[in-house]
Chains A and B, each alone.
Chain A
Amino acid sequence: MKNLKKLIASMMIFVLIIGTFVGCSGGNSKEVNNDSGSEDQVNVVENVDPSLKVPVIDLWLQSQTKDPIRYEAGLMIADNWRKLGFEVNAETREWATMSAEGMKAHDHDVFMVKWGGKPERIDPYHWLYSMHHSDEAVEGGYNITGYLNPEYDKLAKTFATSLDSAERQAAAKEMQVLLAQDVPQPPMFKLKLKNAYNNEKFTNVTPGVGLGVYSFWNFMNITPITDDKILNLGQTNDINLLNPLATKTGQDLYMLKNIYDPLVRLDVKGDVVNWLATEVNDIDDTTIEVTIRDDVYFHDGEQLTVEDVKFTFDFAKEIKSPTYNAYVRNIESIDIVGDQTVKFNLSEPYAPFLTNTLSQVLILPEHIWASVYEEKGAEGVLTWENDEPVGSGPFKFDYWRPNEEFALKANKDHFQVAHIDGIVRTPYTQSFGIVQGLIAGEIEMTSYNMMPLDLEEVAKASHVEIVELPDAGSYIIHYNMRHKPFDDVWARRALTMAIPRQAILDIVFDGGALKTFTLVTEDNIFWTNPDVEKLDFDLEKAKAELVEAGYQWDVDGAIYYPENFEPTPIME
């Protein structure tokens, strides 16, 4: 027994030794690299007041599961920020945690999000108004960074309410200038989306802005070459829910947009075109009159009438649909003013009413939804699965076997008939399945964004053609202007200039993206302002601006605030 005790004791010591050794060595895998500071020894102070030390920056990274790109890019950004003397604590978070604490509660220091370039964001209301107006700087609001700029707010107001598009355009361009110099949450990259299709079976592929080949117009225009007129679509996720009033994922909505019709649609460039509507008239700032077609029928044979239109908007409001809330919120009332005409009365002027409201709200058949409401009540409508959706769109719901297939067939009675006979959508759950499926001919099209390794793989198959389209959304790095050091514009500008954009493009994106300096991407010709200040990677200049603002460094290269420092939130 005695021997055993000794044995235990020695093992314990052994364990402790391992623990300390391995544990200690675990901490120092990243060393602060100060080689840039050694060249110009400006503002290096020997006995700097420790209370002036610029606080540690918590950089939240997306865990690799969701997006390896943001993870890798984040590591590179952190490395370069450290070169400026900032102490950066990079840690990863799950998306659900990060969005609740950052996107919603605004408790972050800094994190990155890839914002999707949906067609309804072509009118840059979301980018310029929602994301930067002071009204949205509250918890849950889109002004995640907490950008407060009265001058900007004024421009934003004009942009949001004016019906004169030239005036709106001018305001938008001015706002972009302000954002580019204040860099509250600068955009960094936009993807070069690479979708693929089978060119031996289909032609006339029309990718639409934001959605690529997943665009409604592509489904309308794509033309079969062979007798196989069913388009097999491979995606990574399955459809979740077919209730337009309750769904929250784009994947569901884009399919629902084929089944249901809105009053107007956004075309491949994002411009408004009439759809159910034949005529849209602005009577004044807050009154819009819409006349609809008289030849539209729901898939069950009932005619689509102005009553259905009025019902849809009223209903979404009545049952408090979270999905439609943003669209119908500022509609005060809807009047039926003629056999085919309705009048929308807005509570306040809302410029993007067509792009952001009329194009998004899908007209529901009153005869179906009213009875569901009667049966289940408001909550019941929101949890209703709507397993066999009846719409009026150019595609009818065919069947859905979860995790296996979701199928639509063309509605030959629609006022605009697609060239294909149907769509079969298969969820693959992992992208290499999609790539192999394309090569093997199991599927003919995917909106999955091909990675370099995938491209290598499909290059061997001559029937797979790549469609390239720049993304209208971008990777945005969200600083929090409520937290130090992001409350100071000079710190933000310097940090922005320390983002190694080119290196990230080369290494992380492997050429699959472009740099971007404005939230309204350069391809959005009408709205973008190409002449904004471009704070690209430039450590020298970053350092110079910090020096000019009075920042100082200790001998180890760590950065400190100047004495009696008052942050400058925005440029004068």
Chain B
Amino acid sequence: MRMTKYILKRLSIVALTLFILLTIVFFMFRVIPGDPVSMFIDSGLDKESQELMMKMYGLDKPLWDQYVIYIKGVLHGDFGNSFTYSKPVLDVIGERFLNTLVLTTTSLLIAFSVGITAGSYLAWHRNTKIDLFGTVMALIIRCAPVFWTGMILLTVFAFKLDWLPLGGMTTVGSNFTSFWDKIFSLDFLKHLILPAITSALYSMATPTLLMRTSMLEVIKEDYIELAYAKGLSDRNVRIRHAMRTALLPVVTIFAVQAGLAIGGSVLVETVFRWPGMGREIVLAVASRDYPMAQGAFLFIGFTTISFNLLADVLYAYLDPRVSL
């Protein structure tokens, strides 16, 4: 019961944050110089047609009216129509969002499972050469720009070795009946590998280093000695006692990392031509597709905040000392 109340309270804060975000974003996009219509002048949109098109998009109304209309729409779940696609923003974003989510979730899963394992391994072998090497590698990878790593992986594995596709999400000409059908296909998996690994490499260092530090802390604890005294196997002590407890601080950074990964998906999606939200936001801003950009921005913000919430709940679940 307390949990539900807590979540409700958090959700209301989320709603408020989103509203502020929405307002900032709405006005910010209008401040960007340029408009969504005049960029088509060269392709044959003459003076009168430009005005008609502004009217068609509802951009002839005063800014405040536009804002009120937009907010009203959002409250009814209507994010307006994308100028570029002439489709409801939600329709366009929905799919892009799932694409981004699939990519970031995969990469975060890889990053955290590898990071946690590697971090605890390094801590277990503390002060050895492996530890030093691993720590330094993690640091270096963390500092390498993700788009650069992506470009290099692309050059090596897609271009030189030709093992994996050069980008995109599916092979040209492939035919899938549904989203799920698509994401569980081998073809999709092949396209997913490089971007997911690139993104994972970037997100991996933080959990690795944190897990290592946390493990080093935990290893000193008395309950680890007691666990050994209990005659538990090395493996059991390491996994059941040390890792399980050391995991807690790592969980708290999950939200931060997830937020970074979703925001940073712009870069990975650009390098690998992944049709996701990040790339869409760049395109929408470039073409001054206000509803699209606003919607995409809101979605990304919403996801970031949700991950924060998720991490808090997860933390409370994992650490009995914390109650929500």
A contact residues vs B (CB 8 Å cutoff) = 65, 94-101, 103-104, 113-116, 118, 120, 126, 130, 136, 138-142, 232, 234, 240-241, 243, 246-250, 320-323, 325-326, 329, 379, 382-383, 385, 402-405, 424, 426, 428-430, 432-433, 436-437, 442-443
Selected interface stretch from B82-90, B117-125, B209-217, B253-261: B82-90
Interchain CB contact under 8 A, B172 and A249: no
- Residues of A contacting B45 with CB < 8 Å? 248, 322
Q: Does B42 contact A (CB under 8 A)?
A: yes
Question: 7 tightest CB-CB pairs across the interface, nearest first?
Answer: A96-B34, A140-B47, A322-B53, A104-B38, A322-B52, A97-B34, A100-B34
- Residues of B contacting A103 with CB < 8 Å? 38-39, 41-42
Q: Does B43 contact A (CB under 8 A)?
A: yes
**Listed A/B pairs (5) with beta-carbon separation below 8 Å:** A97-B34, A142-B46, A240-B84, A320-B56, A323-B49
Please tell me which one of the listed residues A104, A429, A436 contacts residue B50 in the complex, with CB atoms under 8 A apart: A104
**Contacts A100-B38, A103-B41, A118-B44; is A433 near B168 (CB within 8 Å)?**
yes
**Contacts A248-B53, A326-B48, A404-B170; is A430 near B273 (CB within 8 Å)?**
yes
Interchain CB contact under 8 A, B167 and A433: yes
- Residues of A contacting B55 with CB < 8 Å? 320
Minimum distance in angstroms from B160 CB to a CB of chain A: 13
B contact residues vs A (CB 8 Å cutoff) = 32-36, 38-53, 55-56, 81, 84-87, 92, 95, 166-173, 273, 275, 286-288
The majority secondary structure among interface residues of chain B is: loop
Minimum distance in angstroms from B71 CB to a CB of chain A: 20
Interface centre among A322, A385, A403, A436 (most CB of B within 10 A): A322
CA separation between A247 and B172, bound complex, in Å?
26
Interchain CB contact under 8 A, B42 and A116: yes
Minimum distance in angstroms from A564 CB to a CB of chain B: 38
Please tell me which one of the listed residues B33, B273, B286 contacts residue A101 in the complex, with CB atoms under 8 A apart: B33
Interchain CB contact under 8 A, B46 and A130: yes
**Contacts A96-B36, A96-B286, A433-B273; is A426 near B173 (CB within 8 Å)?**
yes
Interchain CB contact under 8 A, A138 and B47: yes
Interchain CB contact under 8 A, B44 and A326: yes
User: From A243, which residue of chain B is reached at the shortest CB distance?
Assistant: B86
Please tell me which one of the listed residues B41, B95, B166 contacts residue A104 in the complex, with CB atoms under 8 A apart: B41
**Contacts A96-B286, A241-B86; is A383 near B170 (CB within 8 Å)?**
no
CA separation between A110 and B287, bound complex, in Å?
22
CA separation between A72 and B169, bound complex, in Å?
33
Please tell me which one of the listed residues B33, B46, B172 contacts residue A97 in the complex, with CB atoms under 8 A apart: B33
CA separation between A385 and B82, bound complex, in Å?
11
Please tell me which one of the listed residues B46, B49, B286 contacts residue A95 in the complex, with CB atoms under 8 A apart: B286
Interchain CB contact under 8 A, B48 and A325: yes
Interchain CB contact under 8 A, A383 and B56: yes
CA separation between A139 and B50, bound complex, in Å?
11
Minimum distance in angstroms from A397 CB to a CB of chain B: 16
CA separation between A65 and B38, bound complex, in Å?
19
**Contacts A99-B39, A99-B41, A426-B172; is A326 near B46 (CB within 8 Å)?**
yes
User: From A63, which residue of chain B is reached at the shortest CB distance?
Assistant: B286
- Residues of B contacting A437 with CB < 8 Å? 172
- Residues of B contacting A433 with CB < 8 Å? 166-168, 273
CA separation between A114 and B41, bound complex, in Å?
12
Instruction: List 7 additional A-B contacts (Cβ < 8 Å) besides A113-B42, A323-B49, A402-B85.
Output: A96-B32, A97-B34, A140-B41, A140-B47, A403-B275, A428-B172, A429-B273
Interchain CB contact under 8 A, A405 and B39: no
**Contacts A97-B34, A326-B46; is A436 near B166 (CB within 8 Å)?**
yes
Minimum distance in angstroms from B56 CB to a CB of chain A: 5
Minimum distance in angstroms from B30 CB to a CB of chain A: 13
CA separation between A240 and B284, bound complex, in Å?
13
